[in-house]
Chain A
Amino acid sequence: MSGNGQVYEVFARKKRADRFEHVGAVSAPNEQLARVYAWQTYDEAKWFEMTVAPRDAFAAVNRPQAPFTLGGPSGSAPTADSR
């Protein structure tokens, strides 16, 4: 059960007129669980609306890299025994 499916980005807004704000991300094995994890984790406000989308659904418009990814080859970092 290593690796947790994929990363979903979480957006939410407090009121109807508000813009969506990027509030964080969750790792989940599927969209259903991503919705549950997002709602449980980012519960700091009484959101009017929350939505999730897979990270790889976001395309770059003006920058070379899509947002949210750090742009590096994923998993390239040292497994941190940073002690």
Chain B
Amino acid sequence: MGRFTDEELQRKVQEGFIVESEEDMTETYKRALITQLTVQGDTELISAPAYFMAARDAPSTNTMVSATAIIQDELGHANIAYRLLEDLGVDRHWLLYEREPAHFKHPYGFDQPLMNWAELVSANALYDRAGITLLGDVHRNTSYGPLKRGLVKVSLEENFHLRHGEVWIRRFAEAGGAAKEAVQRTLDWMFPMGVEWFGMPDDRKHHNAQLDFRLKGMTNDQLRRTWLKAVVPLCEELGYDLPAQYDPDTDEVELTYELPCQYDPEARRWLFNETITWKQVFQRWKARGPMNEQYVDSLRRSRFAVERLLAA
């Protein structure tokens, strides 16, 4: 490591330089990359038990097959991120099996229970859209060669998950009645989770190593806006109510509630009138949500059980 200074490397990657070896990196670059890949791997990994919980409610064998295919894709994507981390010297066994569940870095939205089919397909429509928004940007802009290549498979498959979600929420909308209400109830708590997915607003974020080193191309607010402009017009077209409004004249989306606000995970309800600080939001994220330990444990339990059998 270390033929460039941070400033030299920042200038080079902004001009299109692609990092392919340790020698090309600086310590700061490597640390920012490790953080980014950990968030990416953890998000893909934890989506698997979250989706699996809801997939048990699949309405038929065929739909169960699509849901488990999505889960298998997500595990493959997690594997790609963790493999890249392994090459950077991070111990994969530690990542998967030894970390405290609360130290995982996936978004708070994936610490929530997904209870049924309507919730699974809504998550495909909203969260996988968030995944495509974030990773699509990384895919186009990252200065790290191995990640750019690794994302080819990920981008292909995330689009399938998104289509799965959008086709199904349309189907629920067209059916109307209780079907539509089931998705509406889900969107009521899930949509603001998606808004939070993109992190602190730009004016609250002091360090931006990921942008300086071109590990991504867009800021949090730009990414959030891209997501909103995809999700809100679609939901409006389908007749779902969201606390946001799309203006076709300006091609902009406005939230109709004040960010940030408090969430009651037991009631699964946003307290839109209870405005809080971003510091409090950050504390809520760090404390993790109701399913955090259970999801992590479900990925570990049988490995440890089988290890004990093999050792006996």
Point out residues on A near B: beta carbons under 8 Å.
1-4, 7, 22-27, 40-44, 65, 69-72, 74-83
Contact = CB atoms under 8 A, between A and B. Distances in A.
A81 B307 CA distance: 26
Contacts of A3: 93
Interface string B78-115: 01100101111111111000000001010000000000
Chain B interface extent, by class: 20 to 34
28 contacts: A2-B91, A2-B93, A7-B86, A22-B149, A23-B152, A23-B153, A24-B149, A25-B83, A26-B79, A27-B83, A27-B86, A40-B76, A44-B152, A70-B22, A70-B88, A72-B23, A74-B89, A75-B89, A77-B34, A77-B88, A78-B31, A79-B89, A79-B90, A79-B94, A80-B31, A80-B85, A82-B34, A82-B38
Interface of B: 1, 20-23, 30-31, 34-35, 38, 72, 76, 79-80, 83, 85-94, 103, 105, 149-150, 152-153, 156-157, 307
A1 B307 contact: yes
B87 A69 contact: yes
Among all A-B residue pairs, the 7 with the closest Cβ atoms: A77-B89, A72-B22, A71-B21, A2-B93, A44-B153, A82-B35, A80-B34
Nearest to A81: B103
A76 B21 contact: no
Contacts of B83: 7, 24-27
B89 A72 contact: yes
A65 B21 contact: yes
Contacts of A76: 89
A10 to B, nearest CB: 10
Contacts of B20: 70
B31 A82 contact: yes
Given A24-B150, A82-B31, A70 B87 contact: yes
Contacts of A7: 83, 86-87
B91 A79 contact: yes
Given A7-B83, A70-B22, 11 more contacts: A1-B307, A4-B93, A24-B83, A41-B76, A44-B152, A69-B87, A70-B88, A78-B31, A79-B89, A80-B90, A83-B105
B90 A1 contact: no
A41 B88 contact: no
B254 to A, nearest CB: 34
B33 to A, nearest CB: 9
A74 B83 CA distance: 13
A29 B153 CA distance: 24
Contacts of A25: 83
Given A24-B150, A43-B76, A70-B21, A78 B89 contact: yes
Contacts of B89: 72, 74-79
B30 A77 contact: yes
B79 A83 contact: no
Contacts of B90: 77, 79-80
B163 to A, nearest CB: 15
A41 B94 CA distance: 21
A71 B79 contact: no
Nearest to B87: A70
